[in-house]
Amino acid sequence: MVDVLVTNGPMLIAIAAAFGFLMAWGIGANDVANAMGTSVGSNAITIKQAIIIAMIFEFAGAYLAGGEVTSTIRKGIIDSAYFVDSPELLVYGMIAALLAAGIWLIVASALGWPVSTTHSIIGAIVGFAAVGVGTDAVEWGKVGGIVGSWVVTPAISGFIAFMIFQSVQKLIFDTDNPLENAKRYVPFYMALAGFMMSLVTITKGLKHIGLHFSTAEAYGLAAIIALIVGFIGMIAIKRLKMNPGAGRQNQFDNVEKVFAILMVLTACCMAFAHGSNDVANAIGPLAAVVSVVQSGGEISSKAPLVWWILPLGAVGIVMGLAIFGKRVMQTIGKNITHLTPSRGFAAELAAASTVVIASGTGLPISTTQTLVGAVLGVGMARGIAAINIGVVRNIVVSWVVTLPAGAGLSIMFFFMIKGIFN
């Protein structure tokens, strides 16, 4: 059946490229909106500014650090040994998975649901493999780990966000002189943010451009960056002209302004790390198709990227965000709980910390669930009444539906594509 790949090769690659672009568009509309939602929701930046920041940093992350080589089968979810005799099935399946996950992400974005792009593509891949090839082809243990992460990820990031925000309240907002205390403590928060963000960037981003650091080096480098950031923060805050005699509300507003500047920095780092990490969800299956077709049916676990694949993913992500990202930003930033820059900062810092913990321990996490958990944690710090329970319920339902929705669509498309080409 390898003849199918030879005769229809260019056409299969063209279809895969189109659906890969659709998937990248969906990632932009849904996931990137998560990275920016807290900054927009807390009014630290406008939607327009968020889109410009995300365009620059997501594109840089995806293009510079998205990897020269991508794992063809995300996270080892299916066993490629089952496809050796019929490589065309893997090609059809990956094309079906891209289309299925892309459509589901666009539907979710239209409804304003922040779902996980990683879980969408994994659900789609599991679907076609289990039904089209056989249930043995799926590594069910890994799928179980993903389901477990639905509870673990938001719980960890929610707890960290709760603690960070409580400390900001106790050290700064609940004191007699919030401004003085902000000048004293904010540089420490800045240093902590600098540490976590540079760690995310070093571990998630830079390894792809041939810069390899050992764990000790990564932590050492992050610590140096943290000290520099803290020091710059100290100088910047001292230079801010604020009237200490002003009323408490005025002082609060000034403290929030400081946190707003911090949020812009955290948003840039999150966008870079996200671009470098999640572009693989769109280009991994595409790279697999290209590699199998060009090698005449040979399946390898890693595929070198053809030059046009990364820019295709990066452009797709940016366009999806610019044209369709507003609704998910609204959900994360405004609808779950009321965010101010200090609350938004606590949420982003917690999300980044969770990503660091997870990549250190190998937990399969979703950026989306990390951030939703963190926003919930910040809301909880103000009491359960501060959270919009209806919105949270919808989000949780959309998470549970993502795997089966991706799987169902992908099974349908798999048999359609197989029928057309065979």
Q: Domain residue spans in the chain?
A: 2-421
Spatial distance between the Cα atoms of 94 and 88, rounded to a whole number of angstroms = 10
- pLDDT for residue 82: 84
Q: What are phi and psi of 306, to 5 degrees?
A: -70, 150
Judge contact between 122 and 143, C-beta under 8 A.
yes
Spatial distance between the Cα atoms of 273 and 202, rounded to a whole number of angstroms = 9
Judge contact between 157 and 373, C-beta under 8 A.
yes
Spatial distance between the Cα atoms of 63 and 66, rounded to a whole number of angstroms = 6
**Extended beta strands in 127-241, E state:** none
Contacts of residue 250, defined as CB under 8 A and 6 or more positions apart, other chains included, come to 243
Q: Is 304 left (phi over 0), alpha (psi -120 to 50) or beta?
A: beta
- pLDDT for residue 68: 52
Nearest Cα residue to 181 out of 194, 168, 195, 164:
168
Q: What are phi and psi of 303, to 5 degrees?
A: -120, 130
Judge contact between 206 and 256, C-beta under 8 A.
no
- pLDDT for residue 182: 84
Spatial distance between the Cα atoms of 404 and 374, rounded to a whole number of angstroms = 25
Spatial distance between the Cα atoms of 281 and 278, rounded to a whole number of angstroms = 5
DSSP-based three-state secondary structure for 70: strand
- Residue-wise over 237-252: b if at least 16 C-beta within 10 A, else e? beeeebeeeeeeeebb
Provide the 10 A C-beta neighbour count for residue 404.
12
> If you search the block for the tokens 């590594």, which residue do you land on?
139
> How confident is the prediction along the chain (422 residues), in pLDDT tens digits per residue?
567 777 888 899 999 999 999 999 999 999 877 778 888 888 888 888 888 888 888 888 777 766 654 555 555 678 878 888 888 898 999 999 999 999 999 999 999 999 988 889 889 999 999 998 888 888 888 888 777 777 888 999 999 999 999 999 999 888 888 888 888 888 898 899 888 878 877 776 566 566 677 878 888 988 999 999 888 888 877 776 666 666 778 888 888 888 887 888 888 877 877 777 777 788 888 888 888 888 877 777 666 678 888 889 888 988 998 888 888 888 888 888 899 998 999 998 898 888 777 766 766 677 788 889 999 999 998 888 889 999 999 998 998 899 899 999 999 999 999 999 87
- The verdict on pTM exceeding 0.95 is no
Report the interhelical angle of 2-27 vs 117-128 (nearest 10°). 160
